A and B are shown apart, each in its own frame.
Chain A
Amino acid sequence: MAVIRKAEKRGMPALSTSSLPDIIFMLLFFFMAVTTMKEVTYKVRISPPSATELQKLENKSLVRYIYVGEPMKEFREQFGSATRIQLNDQFADVTEIENFITMERTAMKEEDQNVMTVSIKADKDTKMGIITDIKQALRRAYALKINYQAGARKSF
């Protein structure tokens, strides 16, 4: 009897795959958690300036972004290498900002409309001329709450 039992013990039992779905789900959740949803695909190259007195941007649904920087390599031929503004997924002109803000604001819920924040995400080498133009456009559009995006740094 003992001899037979020993013989039957040989050979690997089949690996159970019933936990595979769990593992896959885990991976899925993991990636969902760590990667933030991209707001848009960048068409301009942005390396943000750095600062120390930073505040977190809360309530992302109330924030609209304006991207400013030099066009990425693949757009150079078409748009040149001068600093451009990107709104949502398109290159835009300063004159379009006012319209864009108004459109975005009307799309918001009424109680959220006056707490809308406009975040300017600009490359650190941008000239202030274009930023000033954007600021003037935002003032005209009554989007007075703004935020200059910047990364953290310790000190100078």
Chain B
Amino acid sequence: MARKLGEINASSMADISFLLLIFFLVTTSMNVSTGLTRRLPPPLPPDQKPQDIDIKKRNIFVVKINSMNQLLVQGEELNIRELKDKAKEFIKNEANDPHLPEKTMKNFDLIGNIEYTKDHVISVQNDVDTQYQAYIDVQNELVAAYNELRNELSQEKFGKKFDELTELQQDEVQTVYPQKISEAEPKNYGGIK
């Protein structure tokens, strides 16, 4: 019998292609959008004028950014690179310095007794002409300061990073170091271009 050459068996082609498809699905990442998440304060009632809430001077950490993207932190000019450490020092107030925020003692279920600066506020004020990147940099450094403090506390109390803690533990660490970054009602600050 004369044997003809059979066609190439293509039935496995589908399997190969699916394999490839799955490979690409797994290895390629969809570009996700990332950013800094913030919460805005609720609006003021229209008939009410913005009133100055009475915060003790030692409890407030003022960061001003002028139109040339320079920083004025607590009345002193500061490089953005030093902002994180300065903010950490302020939030933590390790040595109970009378110029840094007051500390209150509180007993937590999991962390135990801890003194923390309950009433501290970080206030970010920017000029109309401030560059967006400079503003994001400042926000980023402040968030970084909080993240580092949270990680330090988690490491000290639970021996783990903040992300690896259970939800209850995270809640308590967050109560000790809440992100209190307030953004003032818009004003104009120095520097006319």
Contacts and interface: CB of A to CB of B under 8 A. Distances in A.
Nearest to A140: B43
A41 interface: no
Contact of A127 (B30, B40, B43, B129): B129
Interface string B124-149: 00111111110111011001100100
B7 A16 contact: yes
B5 interface: yes
B135 A146 contact: no
Given A18-B10, A128-B130, A140-B43, A33 B30 contact: yes
Contacts of B10: 16, 18-19
Q: Is the interface on chain B under 10, 10 to 19, 20 to 34, or 35 or more residues?
A: 35 or more
B48 interface: no
Contacts of A73: none
Q: Is the interface of A mostly helix, strand, loop or mixed?
A: mixed
A135 interface: yes
Interface stretch (A53-61, A74-82, A89-97): A53-61
Interface string A1-28: 0001100110001111011001101100
A123 interface: yes
Contacts of B24: 30, 33-34
B191 interface: no
A149 B36 CA distance: 6
B35 A55 contact: yes
A40 to B, nearest CB: 13
B113 interface: no
B95 interface: no
A131 B132 contact: yes
Contact of A54 (B25, B31, B35, B42): B35
B137 A33 contact: no
Interface string A107-150: 00000000001010011111111011001101110111111111
Nearest to B23: A30
Contacts of A18: 10, 13
Given A14-B7, A51-B137, A53-B147, A139 B131 contact: no
21 contacts: A5-B2, A5-B3, A13-B5, A13-B8, A15-B8, A30-B24, A50-B133, A51-B139, A52-B144, A53-B140, A54-B34, A55-B35, A55-B37, A57-B34, A119-B35, A124-B131, A127-B129, A128-B135, A136-B186, A142-B43, A143-B40
